[in-house]
Structure 1
Amino acid sequence: MSTVRLRHLADINPLTPAFDHLANDEDLTFLPMEAVWPGERLDISRHRTKESVATGYTRFQDGDVLVPKITPTFEAGRAVLVHGLRRGVGAGSTELHVLRPGPLIDPRFLLYVVNTYPFLKKGEAEMYGVAGQQRVPDTFLRDLPVNLPPLEEQRRIADFLDTETAHFQALTSKRNSQLEGLAERELALIVATLAGGGRKGEGKPTGWPWLPTIPADWSIGPVYAYFSTELGKMLNADRASGPDQRPYLRNANVHWYTIETDDLATMDFSANEVSRYSVRQGDLLVCEGGAGVAEAAVWDGRLQECYFQKSLHRVRRAGPVPVEWLMYWLRLAKACGVFEAEGNIATIPHLTGEQLRQCRIPIPIDGDSLIKRTSEEIAVLTSIRTKLREAQAVLAERRQALITAAVTGQIDVSTASGRGIEE
């Protein structure tokens, strides 16, 4: 088995002449990052005209392998071999690397190469950029050493992995359906809460198709009238090495209803910045940008001292409405595509400070009691969801281990079979 640099096996981020040959008004497949998933989860249903994506987008064609370049999508192993594109051509997120296989490597084998554990770990180590916005450079791909068996053996390995990973995919799909069911139940609970918690009587129209009415005695008002908001501190090289280093949260730490603190970075916060950029128990933290735009969670005060970066908004209660009310409104609005419509979903959408302050939300007269009941029910759903995702993670690890063993020659695919796939 020879070792060959990937640049000799595939074109890295090549030109796509097939795109240039299309007329300006012809449709082609459009892939924002949320549509890029391996296997049957790849969503190629979106179309755009050539003219609308002529600048500022990545171009690709049938038979290309797409590798997400930005964290955390890269580490999630969401590379995909694309087929069935409209007119054989696509355009999409600038956060994608394009690998176009040459004659020495089977496209399916290449896909499995970029799904191995060593590839993902080495790529993660090569990332550059500020925390939360790190990317894999194309030089990593160009210089990647690939253990290359003969084409016939590559195809045998790919055939074996196609069969075995299909079993993993079937179980993954089943659990994804369970997760989708939980998400639907969660959104139904939120809609019921924001619409009045089951109160009877004539409703007041809101003008929002996704929440058409609220109780007649409620009002609608802007976020700034009920909460104080602040955008976090900008990170730069000087602040990352200044004398007053303190832990801070960034958007990668904040997910719906949960905040992770295992990997906190530090930044310089001077004494006169402590009040402005610190977080305290009961603060709502909202992601300003990235794939998780608008995701929000309440800080529980687990650390005595903690701060927040510019990629997050801090929201504090300044009136009768609890911050959880805004969190659930953001959850529903995000699910209904409100922020996609206002942002550039092909790159990185943003929820600016002014946009957040100007958001108009329903204002209840009994918000605290409504939130208490809803939070208890959502906590149960969240616990079930967590267990399912943990099971998914174990399944993904087993799949990746099998791919790594087959691609690196640790198992003989002519006699091996996948093991440990259990429902």
Structure 2
Amino acid sequence: MKQEAVVVERGRLPEGWRWSTLGKECEINPRKRNIIEADDNRDTSFVPMEVVDGGRGIISEIRIVPFSKVKKGYTYFEENDVLFAKITPCMQNKKSAIAVGLISGYGFGTTEFHVLRCKERVIPKWVYYFIRNQRFIDEAESNFTGAVGQQRVPSPFLEKYPIIVPPFVEQQKIVDKLDKQMAQIEIMKKEAEGNIEAVKDLFYSYQKNLFESNIFQKCPKIKLVNLTTKIGSGITPNGGHSVYQKDGVPLIRSMNVHLNNFKKEGLAHISAEIDESMKNTRVIKGDVLLNITGASIGRVCVVPDEICPANVNQHVSIVRTNNMLNPYYLSYYLSNPNFQKFIMDSESGATRQALTKSKIEQFEIPAPSIEIQNQIVAQLNARKQLSEELLNKMNNQLNSINQLPNSILNEVFGQYQIQLS
């Protein structure tokens, strides 16, 4: 049920401030002005949804296309117009930005933008920050219309939505302060992201150096076919996604297999009957999973015990080791930076993105004694655990930094409560 936003003041507005609506302060989706007849080949600014960075609230890249490609069937906007994604999930991801740097002062974009053109009493940055406030996003979501998966914010919601309007000079002061705060947050964010990558690189460097040490230079290299009892990929069940279930036998796909890490997000399930028809590719405890096609080629991990019994589709190969090879040792070896480079280099060009069974069988694996393999696994497990603990702390710090814009915008726009009636 759609709800209408109304103002419930917690306190009095400062002198000179007033309540208005977005529809009174902005033209919502203004009509295209009469453009001088442009040559069809003339360079024109174009903004598809994917170039709007929701996290930073900017257009990361303005595409240049011939005027003929966009003059019909796209959303028209002008310099300093505020663009607001109206469709899920782009709206919740805050894909909004101010259009600046447009060729000849105008451009075109996806039809999934609402365009807000500010009138004389508000500046674009004020409206831009206002619509990025989490309360506004939440209330816009509650007013979605349309079918699930294709829901959109209707323009009447924007037209009627209350907005605080300070005097013009005060708006500029607040916006200038917000700009400085957001720039500082961006610096903090980049520093935190850099620290996270440094910790990841530290583990990979340790792993790389370990497998370059003398012990591995001297020990025999044995073809993987002689160290395994099974190498083989699965199939996609007849019917594809339509036969996936919420529960049942797990069906492992390439999205679940990462470097020494199994991700349960997106894990599909199939019925026991379909699993029976795919019994030759069942996954058991201790199996090594290797992505053999696509952009994730080479990603490898050991299947978690709690996932088994399971099955795999055609993009993932099962590598089942014999008693001469520790599966975790194999996973660490295949995931080390040198071997990953070998996979990428060998699969470049026309044969890119296809690790066949015969290629996997010919992988040469340094095979020290099983006791030494176990020691290597223990060393890498300990280092990996330390790395993951650090990464968890750093990711928590990054999450806190990412919440700062919401907190700051709520301080500015949340002093007066807007409720849904």
Q: Normalising by structure 2, report the TM-score.
A: 0.57
**2:125 pairs with one of 108, 111, 120:** 108
Corresponding position of 1:314? 316
Whole-Å separation in 1 of the counterparts to 2:220 and 2:194:
37
C-alpha contact (below 8 Å) 1:7/1:143 kept by paired residues: no
1:11 corresponds to 2:11 = no
Corresponding position of 2:9? none
1:158 corresponds to 2:175 = yes
C-alpha contact (below 8 Å) 1:67/1:80 kept by paired residues: no
C-alpha contact (below 8 Å) 2:253/2:315 kept by paired residues: no
Letter in 1 for 2:180: T
Corresponding position of 1:169? 186
* Deviation of the 1:390 alpha carbon: 0.8
Percent identity (aligned): 13
* Deviation of the 1:299 alpha carbon: 3.2
| Structure 2 unaligned regions, length at least 5 | 1-18
Corresponding position of 2:406? 400
Mapping 1:85-164, distance limit 5 Å: 97-104=112-119, 106-121=123-138, 137-139=151-153, 143=157, 146-150=161-165, 152=168, 155=172, 157-164=174-181
Whole-Å separation in 1 of the counterparts to 2:133 and 2:348:
32
Distance 1:404 1:278, change over 3 A: farther
C-alpha contact (below 8 Å) 1:285/1:299 kept by paired residues: no
Whole-Å separation in 2 of the counterparts to 1:135 and 1:75:
13
1:385 corresponds to 2:391 = yes
Determine helix, strand or coil for the equivalent of 1:404.
helix
1:300 corresponds to 2:318 = no
Corresponding position of 1:365? 365
Mapping 1:11-410, distance limit 5 Å: 11=29, 33=50, 36=53, 38-39=55-56, 43-44=60-61, 50=65, 63=80, 65=83, 67=85, 77=94, 79-81=96-98, 83-84=100-101, 97-104=112-119, 106-121=123-138, 137-139=151-153, 143=157, 146-150=161-165, 152=168, 155=172, 157-189=174-206, 197-198=212-213, 227-230=231-234, 234-236=240-242, 240=245, 257-261=260-264, 269-273=271-275, 276=278, 280-281=284-285, 282-284=287-289, 298-303=302-307, 313-318=315-320, 322-327=330-335, 355-358=353-356, 363-366=363-366, 369=373, 372=377, 376-410=382-416
* CA-to-aligned-CA distance 1:238-282 (integer Å, 9 cap, x gap): 7558xx756667777666554455x77875524232574865444
Letter in 2 for 1:269: S
* Deviation of the 1:11 alpha carbon: 3.4
* CA-to-aligned-CA distance 1:88-108 (integer Å, 9 cap, x gap): 78999x8x9544331246433
Distance 1:366 1:115, change over 3 A: farther
Whole-Å separation in 2 of the counterparts to 1:341 and 1:123:
47
Distance 1:91 1:397, change over 3 A: same
Whole-Å separation in 1 of the counterparts to 2:33 and 2:212:
53
Distance 1:23 1:169, change over 3 A: same
Whole-Å separation in 1 of the counterparts to 2:346 and 2:176:
42
* Deviation of the 1:160 alpha carbon: 4.0
Distance 1:323 1:181, change over 3 A: closer
Distance 1:175 1:143, change over 3 A: same
* Deviation of the 1:3 alpha carbon: 4.4
Letter in 2 for 1:357: L
Structure exhibiting the larger radius of gyration computed from Cα positions: 2
Determine helix, strand or coil for the equivalent of 1:101.
strand
Distance 1:341 1:173, change over 3 A: farther
Please, what is the CA RMSD of the aligned residues? Answer: 6.2
Determine helix, strand or coil for the equivalent of 1:50.
strand
* CA-to-aligned-CA distance 1:45-66 (integer Å, 9 cap, x gap): xx87637x96999998764547
Distance 1:181 1:272, change over 3 A: closer
Report the count of equivalent residues.
363
* Deviation of the 1:382 alpha carbon: 3.0
Determine helix, strand or coil for the equivalent of 1:357.
coil
Distance 1:66 1:356, change over 3 A: farther
| Structure 1 unaligned regions, length at least 5 | 203-214, 343-351, 412-423
Whole-Å separation in 1 of the counterparts to 2:346 and 2:103:
27
> Which structure would you say has the larger RCO, counting Cα contacts within 8 Å and 6 or more residues apart?
2
Distance 1:228 1:54, change over 3 A: farther
Distance 1:78 1:272, change over 3 A: same
